[in-house]
Amino acid sequence: MRHRHSLFTRACLAALLVLASAPSQAGITLSSTRVIFDGNKRDASISVGNASNRAYAVQAWVNTEADDNNIAAPFIATPPLFRLDPRKEQMVRIVRTAGELPSDRESVFYFNAQEIPAASEGDENTLKVAVRTRLKLFFRPKGLESSLLEALPALRWSVVQVDGKPMLEVHNPSAFHVSFIDIKVAAGSKVNDVDAQLMVAPFASRQYRLPTENDKPEAVTFSVINDYGGYTEPRRVALSAAR
């Protein structure tokens, strides 16, 4: 029994040593948190950097919102696979291929960059993890009037009943995707955060569950992510005035 206990202890220690040697964070970084593909241009680009002291192989591709690689996306990333040495950067171009996209609204896809640590001598007992970074790619067709920021005042907020429960609803009559970073509802001095602040698509509506302690709000305050990955100033809308 003592011998088996000793073997089990040594096995646990060996496993801990392997895990301790695993990288604790992604080695590559991207130059932005989203890509805006201007339909007036032939391509868009994003810079991939390696701030670590080891080399990586990086795979880059574009896929759909469903993260389904079986559905072809009308974009390719080039180069699709490259070596990125320590403290170096690589510019990745995103090129549109064949395929029709709506001309009256934005379309959303996703850019992916996956790091693969390069093998080196003495790595036999090291756990290697391939880390993927995924961010939104917005295709903005040429000829769209207005802009994302100009579209925000047009958002229409209301409280609706769904299966007997009050829900906060936002309708987006614009041609732009609106990604919320913060939504709050207020009734008098009571202010509560709204969970699951999901993006609302062009010409679409989305509903959010209201906090149970604030199911009859008088106003909503929201902030969105702009084209550069920053946040807009909070905007307050009286729900009683919403159309």
Domains 27-140 and 148-241 share a fold: yes
Distance between CA atoms of residues 29 and 131, nearest Å: 11
SS3 at position 70: coil
Q: What pLDDT does residue 35 have?
A: 98
Sign of CA dihedral 68, 73, 75, 81: positive
Q: What pLDDT does residue 114 have?
A: 96
Q: What pLDDT does residue 127 have?
A: 63
Q: What pLDDT does residue 122 have?
A: 59
Domain ranges of the chain: 27-140, 148-241
pTM for the full model? 0.83
Tens-digit pLDDT string for the chain (243 aa): 444 444 434 443 333 333 333 333 558 999 999 999 999 999 999 999 999 999 999 999 999 999 988 888 999 999 999 999 999 999 999 999 978 999 999 999 999 999 988 766 656 666 667 899 999 999 999 989 889 999 999 999 999 988 888 899 999 999 999 999 999 999 888 999 998 778 999 999 999 999 877 668 999 999 999 999 999 999 999 985 443
Q: In Å, how far from its chain's centre is CA 192?
A: 24
Multiple choice CATH, 148-241, 2.60.40.10, 3.40.50.720, 3.30.1280.10, 2.40.40.20: 2.60.40.10
DSSP for 79-100, please give it.
SSEEEE-TT-EEEEEEEE-S--
Q: What pLDDT does residue 139 have?
A: 98
CATH topology of domain 27-140: Immunoglobulin-like (2.60.40)
